[in-house]
């Protein structure tokens, strides 16, 4: 394995910095986990917020990494080393957001992100410091050493953050107050401005409105952490907005003022990249280590080579045995997991004497950080309660027989058995937390239950407070050497809450109540039987650290596929669906604590549930037809919350079905009989999300209307941009639809995503489309359990409008219930196809807003009824007859209550009737597929045919005549020679942009495409398919999703505007061919119709070879990690395939993503799959004739020489 250039020399980075091996347990263990586990098993996901460096979760014009670095400086900048309060990194900035010194939304969003991880063992101020490390490291900068132990403030500190208008002497004095000299000041400023920029919204004197893309001017020309801020200042071109431009006249050129404080000597030295990185590592560490004198920071954090994780003792029935379980985390950065034969545990009994050896461990999962990788080895063994355990060592056995013993710096890894919190006997029912504990009979101190909860602060402070409560536990029965205690407490929410049990100096704490069952299980008085064991005596030969074969009478539990979990029976190991979720109704993720019981409890209202990838729980009332049974051994991942259970695997579901539900037949014709099965969304057969479900709480349902806003449906995010790019508000604790609507008052749209993220906007990005599965928006609002608040990459979208009861016929039986009478109806019916699951064919009507409102109270249009008595006789069936009937453009405002409306709330024409009869018969099965009449009224507000202006197909513009509505090509762009996307796109502007080409096409409202020929597979379709209005003119049509409004240059062929044209007279598709082995993006061999216009100089194409590399294909990113993680290189302005190949020389593979991101590696990580070449559609910024991947798509090459 080759390491990326950035990581070379960092293999032993922490030991190289002189860090001592940590001793477990430590007060900074939680910080260590967050720091080093970015992705994978038991990861905290902290680094994912700033990876890649360019990432912003809050829309364009922002960079999260820069915001994290900025808040670190601003929190520290009020330090006063001469007086009290001293200040420093103490999170006091949470109270200082309205004092005029901390402008911009980045402070609030950053603190809210940190608050999600904040708990009794991890302060917000430590997270602020860690954010500096993560932001610099994610952007390719040096390691900034991290210490833990900062203490959070509870009030605002003094003012004093340096402002751009300050004079040089003021800056020098301010940094002196912080404890830094002039050289430090220059270094800290340069390092702090290595990433990020200035926003025109908050500093218009520096960046006037409209002068920078998205109102955001970068300090230098890259997003990465490099020394360009220094080199460009010294040697040019200097584009730093705090050094040149309007800031000079406005006397806000602060960087120049700071850098010239020593006549540019320091900044000149920092033009050396090695010096720059060394200086930044040091000065940024000093910045985040600036704390009050009363704060004692830990040693710099280094990753454990071996670290226990989730270690737990559990008293078993009868009290004679204790289960000892957990994971051993092994660092595999320099020692790959493939070189580890086994991991064993040698433990001592409770007196320090010989205990035993656990020889069986299994891989629970893997995780990665910025510079490290880890493998977790899970174990579970029963040991005698009388002798018990006091400490253990870990032995890592290599494949070559060499063993390494880890003894926790000689002390052994300690574990106390005097107080044990018993998770199986504890439970969380609603808000009532009941905790049961086993306390050794020799312990005499009172036994207490401690609960720590997050409580929202008032006054707009985005960081919650921790509320700690203590309850005296009550003693019960004695079982074996333990007395059983119990105690209860009321909690507001399981999210962020921790509980524990203590007695004197003994404690078993920092437990997560979310992992508890809803019902407490009693502890039995009869000991369980055991027949086998992997716990062996500690006698070892002199030549091996492997345990001997002498066995004790105790047993190690073996993971099993549980035949029954509650009311559910095991169905087997199943694949995911093809392009869809096998179970699509709801999802719950817990990579740290997932168990079969937890998933069953979360999915209690559904027919099916299944666990995938050890921590992902999915629910559904039916199983996707394309989900098939896989070999049982495929489901091999161990549940993180119970090592006795299997929890699926990658693309494999551990599937269970409600025992009381009848067997659901899945015939070869994909017909699901529901007359005897319960695999439908019916309130009469299962306890699903229905208004009739017996509950004392409000029914979980879709809200058709919130204030003045009408629901539009479940929408995706934009393609590489935010769907709604206005303001945003984050509240993962109390978000509701009403809160979001209130925050977005005055904007045209609002949407809630990921449960707690609210976005506003005046326009919806054209690349945001209705989700293919409208049930994707399955996250429940944290502030109102009766509402849905989107999901990951899914917006619960609302639009400003009024609901007219006189003009809308609501489906009364559905009444905005997600599953009632087996009906799911969309709130807007927008873009809904005629894919009826009913026995009755339902028309697909493009109606006015009145038909939109007619179904606004339910999830999908009534044409998507999931009937409980019929098979799927819909347009999805393999129909025998396919008829395309007339497309009626009428001035009448026709409304059909059962239609699936694809309304743009207007009509194309008031009189034209076009008949596109292809009447081709497709004899296959017994069902009929019919595309019925499409009615487009003139206006959403009036049925009058005289209303002006009128939405229409533009017949001609700029020397181009309308040709028709076309699909995209088969794996290629229909018109792929040039592209001019624009938020002001019109037919006129597009044809003007395509003036040198034969064809111009508008797609998705804002996209303009040009070419001299069509790509293979593009076909003519009904004009009605091109239903989106132009981004720049609401009265013109500009295609739709996968639909191009095509215009042909006059004089280059027949260009009749008649819509009854056949394909053969309008499209030269048959002359364009593409060999199977060809890698050309549009086909390179074609017959062109002669034209008087000059053709473009070249056409973008897939390069078959680049140097020693050959084209490998278009690949997705991997699951939760980078597909190629050996190295990376970004260049937003000049990236080419050749540039990436040069930077990745020596690696087996490389790929370019998102146009400008180059990644290298020697293997593809799990989850990366090959997709159609056409998916990699972004042109390289440095060469417009090359393709450089796309969003989540890599144009990849493999070494062949």
Half-sphere exposure of 496 (CA within 13 A, CB side): 24
Burial category of 687 from C-beta neighbours within 10 Å (exposed 0-12, middle 13-18, buried 19 and up): middle
Q: Which spans in 17-149 are helix H?
A: 29-36, 64-76, 106-117, 124-138
Backbone angles phi, psi at 63, to 5 degrees: -140, 110
**Higher model confidence: residue 802 or residue 795?**
795
Report which DSSP code applies to 288: H
Question: Measured in Å, how far apart are the chain's first and last C-alpha atoms?
Answer: 18
Architecture of the CATH domain 26-288: Orthogonal Bundle (1.10)
**Higher model confidence: residue 642 or residue 918?**
642
Task: Out of 28-37, 675-684, 722-731, 809-818, give the one with best mean pLDDT.
Answer: 28-37
Q: How far apart are CA 1196 and CA 1192, in angstroms?
A: 12
If you average pLDDT over residues 711-724, what whole number do you get? 86
- What pLDDT sits at residue 1136? 92
Task: Out of 220-224, 720-724, 1071-1075, give the one with best mean pLDDT.
Answer: 220-224
Report which DSSP code applies to 823: B
What percentage of the chain exceeds 90 in pLDDT? 47
Check pLDDT > 80 for residue 133.
yes
Burial category of 1054 from C-beta neighbours within 10 Å (exposed 0-12, middle 13-18, buried 19 and up): exposed
pLDDT digits (tens, 9 = 90+) for 245-292: 999 999 999 999 999 999 999 999 999 999 999 999 999 999 999 999
- What pLDDT sits at residue 557? 52
Check pLDDT > 80 for residue 15.
no
Place of tokens 């890649």: 52
| 8 Å CB contact between 1019 and 966 | yes
Cα 1181-1183-1185 angle, rounded to 5 deg: 120
Residue 746 binned pLDDT confidence (cut-offs 50, 70, 90):
confident
**49 CB contacts (<8 Å, ≥6 apart)?**
55, 57, 64, 68, 113, 134
Check pLDDT > 80 for residue 897.
no
Provide the token pair at 587. Answer: 């999802």
- What pLDDT sits at residue 1184? 84
Check pLDDT > 80 for residue 555.
no
Please state whether beta strands 629-630 and 1109-1116 pair in parallel, antiparallel, or not at all (unpaired).
unpaired
- What pLDDT sits at residue 19? 54
- What pLDDT sits at residue 1054? 42
Backbone angles phi, psi at 517, to 5 degrees: -75, 170
Q: How far apart are CA 928 and CA 924, in angstroms?
A: 10
- The whole-model pTM stands at 0.50
Other beta carbons within 10 angstroms of residue 1046's beta carbon come to 27
Place of tokens 């603190």: 111
Check pLDDT > 90 for residue 972.
no
Q: How far apart are CA 307 and CA 367, in angstroms?
A: 13
Provide the token pair at 156. Answer: 């605002």
Element containing residue 568 per DSSP (H, E) = strand 568-575
pLDDT digits (tens, 9 = 90+) for 498-525: 999 999 999 999 999 999 998 888 887 6
| 8 Å CB contact between 1092 and 1052 | yes
Q: Which spans in 561-609 are helix H?
A: 596-602
Superfamily of structural domain 419-515: Immunoglobulins (2.60.40.10)
Residue 673 binned pLDDT confidence (cut-offs 50, 70, 90):
very low
Percent composition of the chain: helix, strand, coil (DSSP 3-state, to 5): 15, 25, 55
- What pLDDT sits at residue 1134? 81
Check pLDDT > 50 for residue 554.
no
Nearest by Cα to 841 from 874, 883, 799, 885: 874
Check pLDDT > 60 for residue 351.
yes
Q: How far is C-alpha 569 from the chain's CA centre?
A: 31
3-class SS of residue 27: coil
**Higher model confidence: residue 872 or residue 436?**
436
Report which DSSP code applies to 779: P
| 8 Å CB contact between 5 and 104 | no
Average of per-residue pLDDT values in the chain = 77
Check pLDDT > 60 for residue 856.
no
Burial category of 258 from C-beta neighbours within 10 Å (exposed 0-12, middle 13-18, buried 19 and up): buried
Check pLDDT > 50 for residue 89.
yes
If you average pLDDT over residues 896-910, what whole number do you get? 30
- What pLDDT sits at residue 979? 81
Extract the runs of DSSP E, i.e. beta strands, from 258-320.
306-315
- What pLDDT sits at residue 808? 31
Element containing residue 369 per DSSP (H, E) = none
Other beta carbons within 10 angstroms of residue 764's beta carbon come to 21
Cα 598-438-477 angle, rounded to 5 deg: 110
Q: How far apart are CA 504 and CA 935, in angstroms?
A: 77
- What pLDDT sits at residue 660? 54
| 8 Å CB contact between 977 and 1021 | no
Check pLDDT > 50 for residue 91.
yes
CATH number of 306-414: 2.60.40.2440
Check pLDDT > 70 for residue 907.
no
Other beta carbons within 10 angstroms of residue 1087's beta carbon come to 10
pLDDT digits (tens, 9 = 90+) for 1036-1095: 889 887 889 999 887 776 433 322 222 222 232 333 222 223 233 323 323 332 323 333
Check pLDDT > 90 for residue 676.
no
Q: How far is C-alpha 890 from the chain's CA centre?
A: 44
CA–CA distances in Å: residue 561 to residues 82, 516, 590, 648:
65, 20, 19, 10
Burial category of 612 from C-beta neighbours within 10 Å (exposed 0-12, middle 13-18, buried 19 and up): buried
DSSP 438-474: EEETT--SPPEEEEEEEEPPSTT-SSPEEEEEEEEPE
Q: How far apart are CA 382 and CA 428, in angstroms?
A: 26
pLDDT digits (tens, 9 = 90+) for 439-461: 999 899 999 999 999 999 988 89
Backbone angles phi, psi at 1158, to 5 degrees: -110, 130
Nearest by Cα to 772 from 846, 687, 833: 833
- What pLDDT sits at residue 1086? 30
**523 CB contacts (<8 Å, ≥6 apart)?**
315, 317, 422, 424, 425, 436, 479, 484
- What pLDDT sits at residue 1091? 29
Half-sphere exposure of 944 (CA within 13 A, CB side): 6
| 8 Å CB contact between 611 and 654 | yes
- What pLDDT sits at residue 1128? 77
Check pLDDT > 90 for residue 633.
no
Nearest by Cα to 428 from 517, 500, 522, 325: 517
pLDDT digits (tens, 9 = 90+) for 292-326: 999 999 999 999 999 999 999 999 998 999 999 99
- What pLDDT sits at residue 949? 62
DSSP 975-1014: S-SEE---TT--HHHHHHHTTTSSEEEEETTTEEEEESSP
- What pLDDT sits at residue 1097? 55
């Amino acid at each position: 394995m080759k390491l990326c250039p950035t990581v070379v020399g960092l293999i032993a980075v922490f030991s190289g910095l002189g860090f001592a091996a940590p001793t477990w347990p430590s007060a900074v263990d939680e910080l260590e986990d967050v720091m080093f586990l970015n992705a994978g098993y038991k990861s905290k996901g902290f680094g994912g917020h700033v990876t890649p460096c360019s990432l912003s979760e809050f829309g364009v014009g922002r960079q999260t990494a820069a915001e994290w670095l900025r808040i670190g400086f601003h929190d520290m900048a009020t330090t006063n080393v001469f007086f009290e309060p001293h200040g420093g990194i103490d999170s006091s900035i949470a109270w200082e957001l309205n004092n005029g010194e901390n402008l911009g939304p980045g402070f609030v969003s950053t603190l809210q992100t940190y608050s999600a991880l904040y708990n009794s063992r991890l302060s917000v101020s430590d997270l602020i410091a860690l954010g500096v490390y993560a932001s610099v490291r994610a952007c390719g900068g040096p390691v900034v050493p991290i210490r833990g132990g900062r203490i959070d403030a509870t009030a605002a500190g003094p003012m004093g953050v340096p402002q751009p208008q300050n004079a040089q002497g003021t800056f020098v004095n301010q940094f002196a107050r912080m404890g830094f000299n002039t050289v430090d000041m220059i270094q800290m400023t340069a390092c702090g401005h290595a990433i990020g920029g200035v926003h025109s919204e908050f500093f218009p004197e520096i960046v006037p409105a409209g002068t920078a893309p998205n109102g955001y001017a970068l300090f230098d020309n890259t997003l990465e952490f490099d020394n360009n801020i220094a080199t460009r200042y010294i040697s040019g071109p200097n584009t730093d907005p705090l050094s040149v431009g309007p800031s000079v006249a406005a006397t806000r050129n602060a960087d120049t003022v700071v850098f010239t404080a020593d006549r540019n000597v320091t900044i000149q030295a920092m033009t050396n990249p090695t010096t720059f990185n060394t200086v930044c590592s040091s000065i940024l560490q000093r910045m985040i280590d600036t704390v009050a004198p009363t704060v004692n920071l830990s040693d710099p954090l280094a990753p454990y080579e071996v670290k226990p994780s989730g270690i737990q003792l559990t008293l078993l029935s009868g009290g004679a045995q204790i289960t000892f379980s957990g994971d051993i985390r092994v660092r595999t950065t320099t020692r790959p997991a493939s070189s580890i034969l086994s991991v064993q545990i040698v433990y001592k009994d409770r007196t320090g004497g010989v205990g035993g050896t656990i020889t069986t461990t299994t891989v629970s999962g893997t995780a990665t950080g910025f510079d490290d990788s880890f493998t977790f080895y899970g174990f579970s063994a029963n040991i005698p309660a009388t002798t018990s355990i006091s400490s253990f060592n870990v032995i890592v056995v290599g494949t070559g027989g060499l063993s390494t013993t880890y003894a926790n710096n000689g002390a052994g890894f300690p574990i106390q058995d005097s107080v044990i919190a018993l998770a199986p006997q504890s439970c969380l029912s609603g808000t009532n937390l009941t905790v049961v504990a086993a306390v050794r009979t020799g312990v005499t101190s009172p036994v207490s239950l401690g609960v720590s909860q997050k409580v929202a602060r008032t006054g707009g402070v985005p960081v919650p407070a921790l509320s700690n409560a203590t309850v005296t536990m009550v003693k019960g029965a004695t079982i074996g050497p333990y007395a059983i205690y119990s105690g209860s407490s009321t909690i507001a929410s399981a999210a962020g809450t921790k509980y524990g049990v203590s007695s004197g100096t003994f404690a078993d704490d920092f437990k997560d109540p979310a992992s508890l069952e809803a019902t407490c299980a009693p502890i039995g008085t009869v000991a369980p039987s055991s027949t086998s064991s992997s716990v062996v005596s500690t006698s070892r030969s002199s030549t091996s650290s492997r345990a001997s074969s002498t066995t004790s009478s105790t047993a190690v539990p073996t993971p099993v596929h549980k035949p029954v979990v509650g009311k559910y029976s095991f169905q087997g190991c199943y694949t995911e669906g093809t392009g869809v979720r096998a179970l699509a109704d709801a999802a719950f993720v817990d990579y740290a604590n997932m168990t079969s019981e937890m998933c069953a409890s979360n999915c209690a209202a559904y027919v099916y549930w299944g666990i995938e990838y050890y921590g992902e729980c999915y629910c559904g009332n039916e199983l996707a037809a394309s989900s098939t049974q896989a070999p049982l051994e495929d489901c091999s991942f161990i549940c993180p919350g119970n090592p006795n259970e299997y929890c699926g695997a990658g693309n494999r579901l551990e599937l269970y079905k409600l025992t009381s539900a009848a067997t659901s037949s899945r015939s070869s014709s994909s017909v699901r009989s529901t007359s005897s099965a319960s695999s439908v969304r019916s309130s009469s057969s299962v306890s699903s999300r229905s208004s009739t479900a017996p509950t004392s709480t409000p029914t979980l349902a879709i809200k058709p209307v919130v204030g003045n806003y009408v629901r539009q449906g479940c929408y995706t995010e934009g393609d590489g941009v935010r769907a709604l790019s206005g303001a945003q508000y984050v509240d993962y604790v109390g978000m509701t639809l009403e809160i979001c609507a209130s925050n977005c008052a005055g904007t045209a749209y609002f949407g809630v995503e990921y449960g707690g993220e609210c976005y506003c906007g005046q326009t919806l990005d054209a690349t945001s489309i209705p989700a293919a599965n409208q049930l994707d928006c399955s996250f429940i609002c944290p502030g109102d359990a009766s509402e849905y608040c989107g999901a990951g990459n899914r917006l619960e979208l609302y639009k400003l409008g009024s609901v007219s009861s006189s003009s809308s016929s609501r489906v009364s039986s559905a009444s905005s219930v997600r599953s009632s009478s087996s009906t799911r109806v969309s709130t807007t019916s927008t873009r809904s196809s005629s894919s009826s699951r009913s026995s009755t064919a339902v028309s697909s009507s493009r109606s006015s807003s009145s038909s939109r409102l007619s179904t606004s109270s339910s999830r999908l249009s009534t044409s998507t009824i999931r009937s409980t008595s019929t098979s799927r006789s819909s347009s999805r069936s393999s129909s025998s007859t396919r008829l395309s009937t007339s497309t009626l453009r009428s001035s009448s405002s026709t409304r059909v209550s059962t239609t699936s409306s694809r309304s743009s709330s207007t009509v194309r024409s008031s009189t034209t009737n076009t008949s596109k009869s292809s009447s081709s018969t497709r004899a296959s099965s017994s069902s009929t597929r019919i595309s019925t009449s499409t009615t487009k009224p003139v206006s959403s507000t009036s049925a009058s045919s005289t209303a002006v202006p009128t939405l229409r197909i533009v017949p001609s513009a700029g020397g181009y005549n309308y040709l028709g509505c076309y699909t995209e090509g088969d794996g290629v762009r229909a018109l792929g020679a040039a592209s001019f996307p624009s938020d002001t796109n019109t037919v006129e502007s597009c044809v003007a942009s395509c003036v040198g080409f034969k064809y111009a096409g508008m797609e998705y409202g804002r996209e303009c495409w040009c070419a001299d020929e069509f790509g293979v597979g593009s076909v003519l379709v009904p004009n009605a398919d091109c239903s989106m209005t132009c981004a720049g003119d609401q009265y013109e049509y500009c295609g739709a999703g996968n639909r191009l409004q095509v215009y042909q240059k006059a004089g280059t062929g027949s260009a009749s505007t008649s819509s009854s044209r056949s394909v053969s007279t309008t499209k030269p598709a048959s002359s364009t061919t593409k060999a199977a082995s060809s890698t050309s993006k549009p086909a390179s061999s074609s017959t062109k119709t002669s034209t008087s216009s000059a053709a473009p100089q070249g056409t973008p194409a897939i390069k078959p070879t680049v140097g020693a590399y050959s084209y490998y294909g278009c690949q997705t990113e991997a699951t939760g990690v980078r597909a190629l993680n050996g190295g990376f290189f970004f260049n937003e302005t000049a990236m080419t395939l050749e540039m990436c190949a040069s930077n990745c020389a020596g690696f087996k593979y490389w790929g370019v993503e998102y146009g400008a991101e180059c990644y290298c590696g020697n293997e593809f990580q799990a989850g990366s799959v090959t997709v159609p070449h056409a998916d990699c559609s972004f042109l390289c910024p440095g060469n417009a004739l090359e393709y450089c991947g796309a969003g989540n798509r890599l144009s990849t090459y493999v070494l062949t020489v």
